Structure 1
Amino acid sequence: MTTLAIREMKAKRTQLGADAKAIMDGATSAKRAMTGEENTAFDALMDERDQLDATIERAEKLLEDDRNAVDDLPDDQRGRGGDDTPELKAFRAYLLNGRAQLTEQQARALNMGSDPEGGFLLAPQQFVQQLLQAVDDMVAIRGLATVQQITTAESLGVPSLDTDLTDAEWTSELGTGSQDDSLRIGKRELRPNPVAKRVKVSRTLLRRAAISPETLVRQRMEFKFGVTQEKAFMTGDGNKKPLGLFTASSDGIPTSRDVATGSATGITADGLIDAKYTLKAQYWSKARWLFHRDAIRIVRKLKDDNGQYIWQPGLTADRPDQILEAPYLVNEYVPNTFTNGNYVGMFGDFSFYWIVDALAMDIQRLVELYAETNQVGFIGRMESDGMPVLAEAFVRLKAATS
């Protein structure tokens, strides 16, 4: 996929948004709701636009991967497919044939400590970086959250201002004001928890596939780790896993930050307006809406009291679609059951969701376990934790109780 092709897709995306807006504007100028035919046309345009968004995102990622692959080559090999580094050659040999087929030099390049059970090797740094970057691309919250890494400690402590001082007092020239003992400093603790996944690959595929075996393993690992983390960042209960955004907790976002949608089976314009203005204006510059696509389908057709649609398409390639003048994220793991009291969305500054990763990551090759099925197993492990660290930076939307 070339840069020109991506540019053409973005231009088409812009035109689809303009066509959808024209349908909305036509109904608005006539002071009426969209007809059934207009609704069908509008939904078709927006579905095509959503599919195009996903295609553009994948194309840009592949293009970036290609650029990174060239950047990793020595200067005299760029543009002509230079050889892999010795570390990558050794790692590929390990993935294909196991430790027994490594030369002494390759084993020294990859060996990490002394493991009495055998099988643990340190992946080349380039492989690990590609895996972590792919997880970042797949997990939407990671791109907005504050991500910390720890190397020596077991956990990360985040100081929190639990109780602030009262306001200052007007006093005389020599006065010092009354004593205030209300200041309380607390702590949020994030402790990386282990997450692991096993991948099985056919020996025949490893030998014959055009794609390199480390790429095969990386693609499967990035998908499994990405999905697992995304679900936990949304709805994790904090018990040996991240504390999710949609889990009510005094350690994260309490129920006091919940706002009713205005409907027991959907979302209303008034509910969204209430949610936005529950969040302090200081957070608006970085705030985003977070919804499942089912919720976006509802929101796109909502009007305010003046008959104006609260959803507005971005009409240029660098301007995102907006709800009440704020951009939004669509995520498959946001709750989407529109019944009494369920969470269905959020508005907040996601830089106040903190993620902590431990740097240690290893790949273990299972040599004999799947011999009968002519497969090779690989186990990937990493450690991660996450939680909201400032409740007032978020507002959750909850379906109203009928």
Structure 2
Amino acid sequence: MNKTYNKPMMMPAASAFSHKEAGSDPVKEVAEKIAAKFTEFTEKNDKRLAAVESEKGALAGKVESLGEQLLELESLKATIEALEKKSNRPGATSTTPEQAEHKDAFNKFLRKGQDQGLGALQAKALNITDDPDGGYAVPEELDRNILSLLRNTTPMRQLANVISMGGAEYKKLVSLGGANSGWVGEQAARPATNTPTLAQITPFMGEIYANPQATQTMLDDVFFNAESWLSSEVATDFAEKENLAFTSGDGTLKPKGLLAYATAATSDATRAFGTFEHINTGTVGAITGDDIVKFFTNFKAGYLMGSRWQFSRTTLAALMVLKDGDGNYLWRPGLSESAPSVLAGFGYTINDDMPSIAAGANAIAFGDHKRAYTIIDRMGTRVLRDPFTNKPFVGFYTTKRVGGMAVDTQAVKFLKIRAS
């Protein structure tokens, strides 16, 4: 299933924002359109809420259309900002002669299948053992490129803590508390306190692969950037599968996703380690403004500093019309450069692998996702070149090992849609 994350329905050409016209500011122009559209949206929605039954149908359609336009404009603003950041990005870090030689040899391998000496060159460039039997490691610069593309297109990678490791295993110790303390006088005895309980957790690892195909004619074309093509093709495939795994994967030959862990409607003080808390909405099958406002009372203050919402685009459409007890809209658009839109004062990330609003669904996650979930990347992406299986195409069987695990199940909580 192909998904596009944070992709606007009306995408501008990159060249349109590569050079600002004199006196123009694309971000400011879009922000002004967002402000105007938000005003119109709130006016129509307020009228819809106050309208008699005969008028509600027509106004509901207008509100839905305006909501869709707001989402498009917001996504367009994010796209322009990303393009401007890319155009202002400083040049790549310098490479060593060994890395440059390895990159040149790897490019010959991609185009012509020439791998003479490539194993030894990658061993020198990457400081690893020469072992070409399992494919060749892509140059460090290309590997960073793939990971950068993955982060930009995978919502869970934007939210979670990401660690790269060189070995085959990763283990983490987590303190479950239990070390008592107490008050004493200056010369009073100080008895021993309890020893804190520690738990060891390990990630659920899996190997993800992609097998993009190119014709030899494409590879022979001097204007065809084989490395860039491979990066984008692999990143697209990996991003779709990885995000689904990090969100809801069952842990079998893949990472265990955030939603795959057990949840309970019990507080942090009594809930078992490894179980997230869910808070039921007050209304069956729906979310109200009160549900959002009251949600924060379940969090310890220390977790709120780095907290964000996470939900699907369809859920956002329902949240945009919610109000607090004073009649203020809980969703507010970002109206200036680099100013994000917020829900109840906190930023959010759109993840279309999150469930939509439905009875019994954990439709919204909120909290400090970096403390709650960790992604483990095994360093190195490997490529096997296959010019035989699917002639006249040349396949590039590309693999990498990746894992994921929940670390702190108090850091994120779910808003669960009441079923009954």
The TM-score range, normalised by the shorter chain, is 0.7 to 0.9
Partner amino acid for 1:134? L
Verify: 1:384 aligned to 2:402, yes or no: yes
Please identify, of 105-114 and 352-361, the stretch whose mean Cα deviation from structure 2 is larger: 105-114
Aligned to 1:280: 300
Q: Secondary structure of the residue that 2:228 maps to in structure 1?
A: helix
Q: Go from structure 1 to structure 2 and tell me whether the alpha carbon gap of 1:239 and 1:94 turns closer, same or farther (over 3 Å shift).
A: same
Q: Go from structure 1 to structure 2 and tell me whether the alpha carbon gap of 1:180 and 1:53 turns closer, same or farther (over 3 Å shift).
A: same
CA contact (8 A) 1:258 1:396 kept: yes
What are the equivalent positions in structure 2 for 1:75-154 lying under 5 Å apart? Answer: 85-99=100-114, 108-110=120-122, 113-115=130-132, 120-152=135-167, 154=168
Q: Go from structure 1 to structure 2 and tell me whether the alpha carbon gap of 1:105 and 1:178 turns closer, same or farther (over 3 Å shift).
A: closer
CA contact (8 A) 1:21 1:313 kept: yes
Q: Secondary structure of the residue that 1:335 maps to in structure 2?
A: coil
Corresponding residue to 1:243 among 253, 256, 259: 256
Q: Go from structure 1 to structure 2 and tell me whether the alpha carbon gap of 1:33 and 1:142 turns closer, same or farther (over 3 Å shift).
A: farther
Partner amino acid for 2:312? H
Q: Normalising by structure 1, what TM-score?
A: 0.83
Corresponding residue to 2:63 among 19, 39, 44: 39
**Unaligned ranges ≥5, structure 2:** 1-14, 52-58, 124-128, 264-271
Please identify, of 193-202 and 106-115, the stretch whose mean Cα deviation from structure 2 is larger: 106-115
Shift of 1:326: 0.6
Residues of 2 paired with 1:203 and 1:96: CA distance? Answer: 8
Residues of 1 paired with 2:303 and 2:296: CA distance? Answer: 10
Shift of 1:3: 5.3
**Identity across the alignment (%):** 21
Aligned to 1:80: none
Corresponding residue to 1:48 among 66, 69, 72: 72
Q: Go from structure 1 to structure 2 and tell me whether the alpha carbon gap of 1:40 and 1:332 turns closer, same or farther (over 3 Å shift).
A: closer
What are the equivalent positions in structure 2 for 1:221-232 lying under 5 Å apart? Answer: 221-232=234-245
Shift of 1:179: 5.5
What are the equivalent positions in structure 2 for 1:184-223 lying under 5 Å apart? Answer: 184-190=197-203, 192-208=205-221, 210-223=223-236
CA contact (8 A) 1:247 1:253 kept: no
Instruction: Kindly tell me the number of residue pairs found equivalent between the two proteins.
Output: 379
RMSD between aligned alpha carbons? 3.2
Q: Go from structure 1 to structure 2 and tell me whether the alpha carbon gap of 1:281 and 1:42 turns closer, same or farther (over 3 Å shift).
A: farther
Aligned to 1:310: 330
Shift of 1:144: 3.2
Which digits, 9 at most, give the CA deviation of each residue in 1:67-122, with x for residues without a partner? 546x6599xxxxxxxxx9543332222112213xx5x566753576254x5x7223
Q: Go from structure 1 to structure 2 and tell me whether the alpha carbon gap of 1:280 and 1:13 turns closer, same or farther (over 3 Å shift).
A: farther
Shift of 1:309: 0.8
Aligned to 2:369: 350
CA contact (8 A) 1:264 1:339 kept: no
Shift of 1:145: 2.2
Shift of 1:293: 0.4
Partner amino acid for 1:345? I
Residues of 2 paired with 1:212 and 1:381: CA distance? Answer: 20
CA contact (8 A) 1:253 1:394 kept: no
Q: Normalising by structure 2, what TM-score?
A: 0.79
Residues of 1 paired with 2:257 and 2:164: CA distance? Answer: 19
Residues of 1 paired with 2:50 and 2:222: CA distance? Answer: 55
Q: Go from structure 1 to structure 2 and tell me whether the alpha carbon gap of 1:120 and 1:394 turns closer, same or farther (over 3 Å shift).
A: same
Which digits, 9 at most, give the CA deviation of each residue in 1:42-63, with x for residues without a partner? 3243133134145326634753
Shift of 1:305: 1.6
Partner amino acid for 2:130? G
Shift of 1:16: 2.7
Aligned to 2:246: 233
CA contact (8 A) 1:252 1:391 kept: yes
Q: Go from structure 1 to structure 2 and tell me whether the alpha carbon gap of 1:12 and 1:264 turns closer, same or farther (over 3 Å shift).
A: farther
Corresponding residue to 2:341 among 321, 325, 328: 321
Corresponding residue to 1:19 among 12, 31, 36: 36
Shift of 1:160: 1.2
Residues of 1 paired with 2:195 and 2:50: CA distance? Answer: 54
Aligned to 2:360: 341
CA contact (8 A) 1:270 1:304 kept: yes
Shift of 1:25: 5.6
**Unaligned ranges ≥5, structure 1:** 75-83
Partner amino acid for 2:79? T
Partner amino acid for 1:324? A
